[in-house]
Amino acid sequence: NKKIGILTSGGDSCGMNAAVRSITRVSLQKGCVPFAIYEGYQGLVDGGEKIKELRWDDVRGYTLSNIRYLAKGGTLIGTARCKEFRTREGRLKACYNLIKNGIDALVVIGGDGSLTGADTFRAEWTGLVDELVSTGKLTKEESAHLRNDLAIVGLVGSIDNDMSSTDITIGAVTSLHRICESVDSLTSTAQSHQRAFVVEVMGRHCGWLALMAAIAVGADCCFLPERPPPFNQEKYGNNWEQEMCDIVAKNRSFGNRKSLVIVCEGAIDKDLNPIKPDQVKKALEKIGLDTRVTTLGHVQRGGSTCAFDRYLATVQGVEAVEAVLRSNRDVPAPMIGMFQNKIVSIPLMEAVKLTQEVATSIAKKDFAHAMQLRDPGFTS
C-alpha cells in the first residue's frame, strides 16, 4: 500500500497530463494511494493545499473546460522552477511534508535537472528524517515506517528529446508536429512570394527537433549543435554561409520557389560560435533572397497532445508504478525510457550523467562522441 506522490517539474511538455492520469489510475488499481503535488518541487516545499490525494475521477477532467486529461497539453498539476529545493533547507521542508502525508514514493516527470534533484533528495532522505526527529519537528512514531527509503522513479518530460539512454521523451513528438504545422503555414507565403524563411526551433543542446523537422518539411538546410557546418569542410573550410547559399541556390535552380532553413536554438559552427537566425538571414539576402526570420518560441511546446505522446506517457506511467513497487533501497532509482520500441527501466543517474557528457563532448569538439552518447546506434 504505497502512497505515491506525483509531480511535474521543469519545462512543461505535452503528455505530462497523460502520465499523471496513467500513474494515478494504475496506482489505484494496484491498491496504492496516489497524491498530486502541485507546482513541481515548490508544492513539496510548501505542502498544505499543494499536496492532495487523487481519486479516479480527478484525472477525468470534467471540470476542466471539458478538455480531456489525456489530450490536454502542458501540465494541469502545474510546474515551476524551485530555487528552495536546490538547498538542503528546502529539501528538509519537502521531507517534512511528505512524511506528514505518509508518502513513501515519488514519481517525478521532468527533465535532467528535476531527475537529479529527485536523486539527491533520495540520497539525503534518511539523514533528513533523522534531523526532523532530532529537532523535534517529527516524532519517531510518525517517521518510523518511512525513515528507511523514499522510492524515486523518473519519467522524462522534455520536448527537446535530449535525454540519453532513451530513444524518445514525453512531449518531443507533439512538438515536432507543432513545428511541422507552423512551417507548413509559412510555406504558403514563402511559395507565393518566392521568399526564404529561417525558422528557429527549440533545443539548447539537442538538435533532434531541428533535424526531424527539417526532414519532415523538406528544408534546404538545418543547423544543429551536434553536427556543426560546413558539412563539406574540404571545399568550404569554415565558411558555412557559402555552403548553405550554394545548397539553397542549387535547389532554386531546380525550380523551387521557396527556401527553408531550420536553425536549432543551440546551433553552432565548427569553432563553437553560435549560429543565429539573423546571420543566416543576412547570408541569404546576399544571394538576393527576400528572407524572413520566424522564431517559433513557445508555440511549439503546447496544444493538443499527439497520439504517440498519449501512448508513450500512458505505458511509461504503468511501468513507473511497477518500478515503485519493485523499489529497493539498495538499487539506484530508475528512469523509465523507451529503447527499440520497448519500455525500459534504466538507472536514473547513469542516464543523467550520459546526457551531461553530451554537452561536455560538444564543448571539446568531439561531435561524433556526442552523437554516440545520445544514440548508441549512431555511426558517423
Quick check: 13 binds ligand ADP (CB under 6 A)? no
- Residue 86 DSSP label: G
Based on CB atoms, which residue is closest to ligand ADP, 61 or 154? 154
Q: Are 267 and 225 in contact (CB under 8 A)?
A: yes
Task: Round to whole Å and give the CA distance between 22 and 4.
Answer: 13
Task: Round to whole Å and give the CA distance between 241 and 239.
Answer: 5
Of 7, 287, 258, 45, the residue nearest 152 (C-alpha): 7
Quick check: 120 binds ligand ADP (CB under 6 A)? yes
Q: Are 51 and 33 in contact (CB under 8 A)?
A: no
**Candidates 50-58, 114-122, 245-253, 352-360 — which segment interacts with ligand ADP by CB under 6 A?**
114-122
| φ, ψ at 110 (rounded to 5°) | -170, -170
**Candidates 56-64, 105-113, 132-140, 357-365 — which segment interacts with ligand ADP by CB under 6 A?**
105-113
Task: Pick the catalytic residue from 46, 119, 160, 162.
Answer: 160
Q: Are 74 and 14 in contact (CB under 8 A)?
A: yes
Based on CB atoms, which residue is closest to ligand ADP, 35 or 41? 41
Based on CB atoms, which residue is closest to ligand ADP, 114 or 164? 114
Tell me the residue type at 288.
G
Q: How far is the CB of 155 from ligand ADP (least distance, A)?
A: 11
Quick check: 348 binds ligand ADP (CB under 6 A)? no
Based on CB atoms, which residue is closest to ligand ADP, 85 or 240? 85
Cβ neighbour number for residue 133 with a 10 Å cutoff = 18
Quick check: 82 binds ligand ADP (CB under 6 A)? yes
Handedness of CA 193, 196, 200, 201 (dihedral sign): positive
35, 38, 41, 125: residue in contact with ligand ADP (rule CB under 6 A): 41
Q: Is 56 helix (H, G, I), strand (E, B) or coil?
A: helix
Quick check: 17 binds ligand ADP (CB under 6 A)? no
Catalytic positions: 160
Binding site for ligand ADP (CB under 6 A): 9-11, 41, 81-82, 85-86, 110-114, 116-117, 120
